[in-house]
Structure 1
Amino acid sequence: MPFNDYEVRGETTAFFIVRRNGDVHEVLIDTEDLPSLIELGRRWCYNPVGGGYAQNTYYSGTINGKEKYKTIQLHRFILDFPFGKVVDHINRCTLDNRKTNLRACAQKENLQNYRGAFKNNKSGIRGVTLDKEKGKWRALVQVDCKMHHLGYFLDKQEAEKVVTKFRREHMPYSQMDQGEQAI
């Protein structure tokens, strides 16, 4: 199956993944990477798990009479990341696979760039919880497996400001510029 349809837009190329349900996803790459993707001769697909990634699954042989397949994610194909590292999409767009948007990091560093509060957070703000006994908002941030208690606040937005400031100062992989909500 040939490579996906694409558009060259100067130094950036967009290629398109069409899902079975008709949804179209635009994937960005550096134009300099286009020849190696075309040469690979495979169509890239969309995997919705974990925010959505471009990936390719290919036949790798037969073991004990069973067909085996391997899956490679586009960001790993482009940069050939080292074992033991994960890929952080700096702008958090997992379909933006331009080299300037990708960096190798440890899992704990990648989690710094997680958007929004975790599912079990009732305040809606990462690092801010309501202490029902005190009737105040508690600001907490974990860095390098150490929990930092930043104080109690009557106002949830004040707790958010403290968390945001702390994350900017102590978590270099966190993208919290341009007035974004604390994560």
Structure 2
Amino acid sequence: MDDEDYGKLSSHKWCYDRKGYAVRSAPVDGKWTSLYMHRQITECPEGLVVDHINRDGLDNRRDNLRVCRREDNARNNNGRSHNTSGYKGVTWHKQARKWAAQLTSKGVHYHLGLHATKESAARAYNAKAAELFGEFATLNEILENTYEEAV
């Protein structure tokens, strides 16, 4: 947290919850309620959520927090843990024996082509994600490959 928030937050006992956030309990309207540090810092209004830009739920510095819609927050993730390509939005297409790039936004599925390398497919994903999601796009960090050919 930032120095400016330390005074008002340090007087409370904070715990680490199973979701990875700093949380405390407090009575609200006669009921004990969980209060999250990141929501208190940002004074997040009902109906919106707080996104931890670097995905560290305990990093509650103001420059790491942004108030947003739930759908924007959901975009800030690393992809599926069982992804064999190592890149978000990139899968192996068995029939074509090439790497496929794809993403879905607002119920629309975008096929971004078949690629000879997973790096090329990751670049295609990055370009479309940046176009659609702007600052909320989670882009792949691509290891440079000397041979690359998109089909």
Report TM bin, short chain. Answer: 0.7 to 0.9
**AA paired with 2:89?**
G
Q: Is the 8 A contact 2:129 2:138 kept in 1?
A: no
Q: Which runs of 5+ in 2 are unaligned?
A: 144-151
Determine if the alignment matches structure 1 residue 47 to structure 2 residue 10.
Answer: no
**AA paired with 1:56?**
R
Structure 1 distance, partners of 2:4, 2:111, is 47
Determine if the alignment matches structure 1 residue 112 to structure 2 residue 75.
Answer: yes
Structure 1 distance, partners of 2:141, 2:56, is 15
1:101 CA drift (Å): 1.6
1:120 CA drift (Å): 4.5
- Partner SS for 2:96: coil
Determine if the alignment matches structure 1 residue 35 to structure 2 residue 7.
Answer: yes
Q: Which runs of 5+ in 1 are unaligned?
A: 1-28, 63-67
Superposed, which structure 2 residues align to 1:24-173 within 5 Å?
A: 29-38=1-10, 41-49=11-19, 52-59=20-27, 68-115=31-78, 117-172=79-134, 173=136
TM-score (norm 2): 0.81
Structure 2 distance, partners of 1:33, 1:167, is 34
Moved runs in structure 1, 4+ residues, more than 4 A?
Answer: 59-62
RMSD: 2.3
- Partner SS for 1:36: helix
Render the CA deviation track for 1:116-156: whole Å, top value 9, x for unaligned: x2135333321111121221211101223211111011211
Render the CA deviation track for 1:21-43: whole Å, top value 9, x for unaligned: xxxxxxxx1211122123xx321
**AA paired with 2:130?**
R
1:48 CA drift (Å): 3.4
Q: Which has the higher strand share?
A: 1
Structure 1 distance, partners of 2:138, 2:120, is 20
